Amino acid sequence: MIRVHRVALDVTNIQAADLARACGTARFAYNWALARWNEMYQILLADPSAPKPSQQSLRRELNSIKHEQFPWMLRVTKCAPQEAIIDLGRAFGNYFAGRAKRPHFHKKGAADSFRVSAGFFKVDGRRLRLPLLGWVRMRETLRWPEAKLVSVTVSSHRGRWFAGFACEFPDPTPEPHTGDVVGVDVGLREYVTSDGEHIGVPRAYRNTERQLRRAQQSLARKMKGSKNRDKAKAKVVRIHGRVADVRTDWLHKTTSRLVAEHSVICVEDLNVRGMAGNKHIAKSVMDAGFFEFRRQLEYKCPASGANLVVADRWFPSSKMCSTCGAKTKHLPLHVRYWTCESCGASHHRDENAAINLRNYAASSAVSACGEFKTADDHGRTATSSSHLCEAGTRHQTGR
């Protein structure tokens, strides 16, 4: 298992210039290799006997010509161009496997970074030694000093430099949890658990939207190429960065606490891309971090021995009464409280959905026919179809 610890760096102006030079070299090598790959592919189409492009052949070709054609590459570590070409080969592998789009040329200033493989760097407390650069100060020590360091990726983000250490661990051995089962219903303003806890979403973008609008208006008035435009652009970048940091910090703290306190966590399989296409709620959907919330649970649960259960996208968590199992066809989003006509139970919409998700995970009785089990008023288990939201079902009254 590979985990990454990202650490901020304290660099001098000279060190920052050297790091930027290494990033530029890695970007140039990637673009050069991509152009050569496309050229070799066109030759291969005309002559099937021609050699196929590969990252190994491109790395050997670059090593043979860089002393004469690109002598400035010798001013940075050799890992920068070599690892960039390896990344290109991996990108083409993902493209041919249908997992990603075709690789494109990298642009200066967009995700500038370079990677140094194991054996070419050293960590000593709060210091990082890079080849041809020397020791660089880090803001903190490594989180896992006993882990095996696979590589370090130095990147520039919002005017600061960071080092991402890829640490290798043995596959975790799941340990029995003493916690319980919990269902989590995600919302635009709050996440609600089946325990009745309401976790407020920080809404970092919404709260900063007015400040960001003014900063962007100021940027639009600046003359292109001027120093004032660069300052205004940096201000916009800082605001976006602060929004991302607030959202990421909240998601990490929330998911870590849920994984530590519960043995089974159940969430819904939401169509986040479709929800983001709705212009009325798109900003709030992305601000709440639905996709990132599930992504963090997917890798944190196995590491801690917890289980993640994802309910089917069509599971009627909000429209089903958690007391008797009766379902309704119409329950508009603005209805936050409703009463079941079958048993008379009153429900908070999100709390009821979270309880249904908890019952879904606790029963683990989903069959191939799409059926699930619910409990009736006398505690007996009843089997109901997940498609009973058609006409003819019982209706509840919203209030």
**What residues act catalytically?**
185, 268, 350
Judge residue 377's burial from the number of C-beta atoms within 10 Å of its C-beta, 0-12 exposed, 13-18 middle, 19 or more buried: exposed
Helices 227-261, 204-220: crossing angle, 10 deg rounding: 170
Would you state the torsion angle of the CA atoms of residues 330, 335, 337, 341, taken in this order, to the nearest 10 degrees? Answer: -20
Region of residue 181 (left: phi > 0; alpha: psi -120 to 50; beta: else): beta
